[in-house]
A and B are shown apart, each in its own frame.
Chain A
C-alpha cells in the first residue's frame, strides 16, 4: 500500500500543484493507535481530497514509489560525480556503456 504522502503528491500533481511541502501545505499525522496516517491540516488552495480520490491514486502512487527506489538504486550505482567526470574524460564510451548497464539492470515501471 502506498504512503498517504505519495497519494497526496499524485492528487496534487493531477490538480495543478507540482510541489507539496509537508511542513506547511499539508500536515499528516499518525497517532500510533492503529488507525494509520491522516490529514491533520490542509493549507492548499485546491480542495482536500476525499478518501475515494486518494484511493484512486493507489496504483499510480505504488508505481511512483517503486520508481523512486529505482532512482535511488541507480544513483548509488552511478557513483560520485567527480569520478564519473574522470571516467568520461578517459573513455566516454566505456562510461556510457556502464551507465546503460545500470539503467538496464534497474528498469523503471
Chain B
C-alpha cells in the first residue's frame, strides 16, 4: 500500500532506509542547467576586460544560453531563483610572449559582480588556469556573462580552448 503522507513523529531518524524503488517528488530538478565552451582560442585586446564568446554548447536544458550573438545566460520565464555558476578559464598568449596576470569577472545585467585575479610569483607565466564559482539570486530576464582580462607584456592575449584545454562556463538553478 502506498503511503500518502508520513508524519514526522512516526519516523525514527536513526533508522536506515533501503529503498528499492524510485523516490519521486523530492527536491528540485536543478534546471535550467547549461555548460558551454569555446571552440577555439578567443583573441583579446591587451589588458581589456572582454566578454568571453562561449560558442559551443555541451548542454542547455532550457535554451537559456545564447551561443551565437550575446553569449549570455538569461533566466527564462518562470525560472527565477538561486543559481550556481562556474567558469574555467585558461588565459595567456598564443605567441610565446609574457603574460603578467589575468582577471576573470562575472557580469550580471552588464555590471561586474567581482573578479578573480590569479597572478604568478614571477608575474611572467605564459598561461594562467583558474576556476571561479559564484551564486546569484536571479529574476526572470536577468543575464550572466563572463569577462576575461589578460595583461601581456608581449604576444597576443587569448582565452585558450581546444581539444584538451577547454575554457568553459556553466550553471544551474539550485532552488526556485
Given contacts A68-B97, A69-B97, A72-B98, contact A30 B49 (CB under 8 A): yes
Binding site for B on A (CB under 8 A): 3-6, 22-23, 27-32, 36-37, 40, 65, 68-69, 71-73, 75-76
Shortest 7 CB-CB contacts between residues of A and residues of B: A68-B154, A5-B47, A22-B47, A28-B48, A32-B51, A72-B154, A3-B46
- What separation, in Å, do the CA atoms of A30 and B146 have in the docked complex? 12
Task: For residue B132, give the distance in angstroms from its CB to the closest CB of chain A.
Answer: 16
- What separation, in Å, do the CA atoms of A72 and B52 have in the docked complex? 27
> Do residues B51 and A27 form an inter-chain contact, with CB atoms below 8 A?
no
- What separation, in Å, do the CA atoms of A68 and B97 have in the docked complex? 9
Tell me, yes or no, whether B81 is within 8 Å of chain A by CB.
no
* Chain A proximity mask over B98-109: 1 for CB below 8 Å, otherwise 0: 100001000000
Given contacts A23-B103, A30-B44, A32-B71, contact A69 B49 (CB under 8 A): no
**Closest chain B residue to A68 by CB distance?**
B154
List B77-132 residues whose CB lies under 8 Å from chain A: 95-98, 103, 117
> Do residues B48 and A29 form an inter-chain contact, with CB atoms below 8 A?
yes
- What separation, in Å, do the CA atoms of A23 and B97 have in the docked complex? 21
> Do residues A3 and B47 form an inter-chain contact, with CB atoms below 8 A?
yes
- What separation, in Å, do the CA atoms of A76 and B96 have in the docked complex? 9
- Select B45's contact among A36, A40, A72, A75, beta carbons within 8 Å: A36
- What separation, in Å, do the CA atoms of A71 and B153 have in the docked complex? 9
Chain A residues within an 8 Å CB radius of B47: 3, 5, 22, 28
Listed A/B pairs (15) with beta-carbon separation below 8 Å: A4-B48, A5-B45, A5-B46, A23-B149, A28-B47, A31-B51, A32-B51, A32-B53, A37-B45, A40-B49, A65-B154, A69-B154, A72-B153, A73-B96, A76-B96
Task: For residue A18, give the distance in angstroms from its CB to the closest CB of chain B.
Answer: 15
> Do residues B50 and A72 form an inter-chain contact, with CB atoms below 8 A?
no
Task: For residue A1, give the distance in angstroms from its CB to the closest CB of chain B.
Answer: 10
Tell me, yes or no, whether B143 is within 8 Å of chain A by CB.
no
Chain A residues within an 8 Å CB radius of B35: none
- What separation, in Å, do the CA atoms of A27 and B117 have in the docked complex? 15
> Do residues A30 and B51 form an inter-chain contact, with CB atoms below 8 A?
yes
**Closest chain B residue to A69 by CB distance?**
B154
- What separation, in Å, do the CA atoms of A31 and B44 have in the docked complex? 11
Given contacts A22-B149, A23-B103, A69-B97, contact A28 B155 (CB under 8 A): no
**Closest chain B residue to A70 by CB distance?**
B154
- What separation, in Å, do the CA atoms of A75 and B126 have in the docked complex? 13
Task: For residue B110, give the distance in angstroms from its CB to the closest CB of chain A.
Answer: 9
* Chain A proximity mask over B29-68: 1 for CB below 8 Å, otherwise 0: 0000000000000001111111111000000000000000
- Select B48's contact among A30, A65, A71, beta carbons within 8 Å: A30
